[in-house]
Amino acid sequence: MEKLVIRGGKPLRGTVRVSGAKNAVLPIIVASMLGMTQSTLTEIPELADVQTVCDVIRSLGVEIKKLQKGVLEIDAAGLNATAAPYDLVRRMRASFLVMGPLLARKRKAEISLPGGCSIGARPIDLHLKAFEAMGASITLADGNIKAEVPQGLKGAQIYLDFPSVGATENVLMAAAMAEGKTILENAAEEPEIVDLATYLNSMGANIRGAGTNVIRIEGVKTLHGAAHAVIPDRIEAGTFMVGAAMTGGDVFVENALSEHLKPLIAKLKEVGATVEEEIDGIRVMGGSQRRSVDIKTLPYPGFPTDMQAQFMALTTICKGTSVVTETVFENRFMHVDEFKRMGAKIRIEGRSAVIEGVPVLRGASVSATDLRAGAALVLAGLVAEGETKVGYLYHIDRGYDNLVAKLQRLGADIVRVNMEEEN
C-alpha cells in the first residue's frame, strides 16, 4: 500500500499555484456532452476524478483528446449510448450528472445509484424530483435508475428543498435544452455553479441568475462546443492557506480568488494569521499564537464543508476550545478518530466537534477516510512531532493535483512511498 510519510516541523514557505477546480471541472466536462461541435477546456487539473468522468462520457460515445497538460478537446457529436456503466459510476458521485445531458439529448438515461461516500447518505431525490417536474418518468430497478422523457424535457418551476450543488447542476444542463422556461428556486450559489453556467452560456444556452438562489433558464434547441478555462480550486487554495497558518509559515497561494474564500479568510484572521488579498492570489502568514475559533459549515457563501476537516486540523493546535459544527453532511467527522491518534483532544456532541487545543500533535499511522479528511491529516502531519504515515491515498488522489510535489516545493518533508517495496 502506498503511503505519505511526513516529518513534521517545517513551516511552509514560498509560492504555490492553485490548479483548476475539481468541483467545476467535473460538471463542465459532463456539460460538454450537450455540444454538437468540439469544446476546448483549459486549466484541467490532474486528478483521478477527471480521469473517471472522462471514462464515463467516453463510454457513452464522446471523444476526448488531451492536447497537452491541462487542455482537453471534447467532441460529443457521436454521443450514442444512454446507460452509464456501474463500475465507473460507483467510483464517483459526480457521474450522476450525466443524467441531465442524456435526458436533454437522448430523452432517456440509465444510471446506477451513485457510489455511497463515507461522509453521508447523499441521496439523489432532489435531482429526480426536478427531472420529474420537467416531464421525465423515473423507475428504480436493481440499483439502476431509468429515466425517460419521450416527448422531450419541458421547462418547469422547480424549488429545491435544499440548495444542492449537484441537483442545481443537473437541472442547469437539462433545462438548457428543454422546451420553454425553467425557474430554479433555492438553487445552490457556489462559484462552481457560476462557472458551469458561464460555460453553458458560451455553448449557446440562455441562463441568468447563476450565483444567486433563483436561476432562470430559457431552453434552446441545440448547443455548440465552446472554449472555457476552469476557475481556480478554492478548496485546494484553502488547504494551502490553512497549511501556512498551521505551520507558522508564509505562503503566497497564486491564482486563488479571495472573493471565493471570504469565510475562510475571516476565520484565519480570527485564529491570528495575517492574510493579504492580492490581485493574483492570497498571501497567508501564520503567527506564533493561534487562538481557538468556532466554525459552522453552510452552503455557499457560508463556510465550505469541504474545508471543515482541514480547518479542524488547525483548531487541534489552537489555544483554547473550538467548536466545529457540520450542517451539510450528517457523517463528516471520520477524521476525528484519526486526529485523536495524533494526540488531539476532540469529543463529538451531535453535529458538533468540540476541540480542546493541545500544544503539540504527535506523528502516527493514520488513514484518509475521505478526500478532505486525507488532506487534513497531511496538514496535521506537517506540524506533528516525529513521523506521520497517511494511508488510503486514493481518496487524496481524487481531488488534489500533485499535492506532494507542491508541498515539497514549499519546504515540507513529505514523500510518497510504497510500503510493500520498503519492507
Is 93 marked as binding a ligand?
yes
Helix locations, 85-206, DSSP H: 86-89, 99-106, 125-133, 165-176, 191-202
Q: Which is nearer to ligand UD1, 75 or 401 (by Cβ)?
A: 401
Q: Is 57 annotated as a binding residue?
A: no
Closer to ligand UD1 by CB, 168 or 247: give it.
168
CA–CA dist 247, 412 (Å, integer): 10
Tell me, rounded to whole angstroms, the distance of Cα 172 from its chain centroid.
18
User: Which residues form the interface with ligand UD1 (CB under 6 A)?
Assistant: 23, 26, 93-94, 120-127, 162, 164-167, 188, 305-306, 328-329
* Binder of ligand PEP out of 371, 373, 384, 393 (CB under 6 A): 371
Residue type, 208: R
Grid cell for residue 356: 480542546
306 binds ligand PEP (CB under 6 A): yes
Min separation Cβ 183 and ligand PEP, Å: 26
> Could you tell me the three cell numbers for 63?
471523444
Q: Which does 399 bind (CB under 5 to 8 A by kind): ligand UD1, ligand PEP, none?
A: ligand PEP
Exposure string over 273-287, b if 16+ CB within 10 A, otherwise e: bebeeeeebbbbbbe
Tell me: does residue 195 bind ligand PEP (CB under 6 A).
no
Which residues make beta-bridge pairs with 347? 354
Please say if 318 is a catalytic residue. no
Which residue number, 182 or 239, has a Cβ lying nearer to ligand PEP? Answer: 239
What whole-number distance in Å separates Cα of residue 390 and Cα of residue 58?
Answer: 33
Burial class (CB in 10 A: 0-12, 13-18, 19+), 48: middle
Q: How many alpha carbons lie under 13 Å from residue 201 in its C-beta half-sphere?
A: 14
Task: Compute the distance between CA of residue 326 and CA of residue 329 in angstroms, rounded to an integer.
Answer: 7
Is 22 among the annotated ligand-binding positions? Answer: yes
Q: According to the annotation, is 125 in a ligand binding site?
A: yes
Q: Which of 71, 117, 220, 323 is catalytic?
A: 117
Choose between 81 and 334: whose C-beta lies nearer to ligand PEP: 334
- Out of ligand PEP, ligand UD1, none, which partner does residue 123 contact, by CB within 5 to 8 A per kind? ligand UD1
- Considering only residues 27, 399, 400, 403, which one is a binding residue for ligand PEP as defined by CB under 6 A? 399
Nearer to ligand PEP, 119 or 246 (CB): 119
The answer to whether the beta carbons of residues 343 and 367 sit under 8 Å apart is: no
CA dist., res. 164 & res. 305, Å (int): 13
126 is in an annotated binding site: yes
Write out the binding residues for ligand PEP, residues 115-154 only, by CB under 6 A.
Answer: 117, 119
Annotated binding site for UDP-N-acetyl-alpha-D-glucosamine: which residue ranges? 93, 122-126, 306, 328
Residues that bind ligand PEP (CB under 6 A): 22-23, 93-94, 117, 119, 306, 371-372, 399
Active site residues: 117
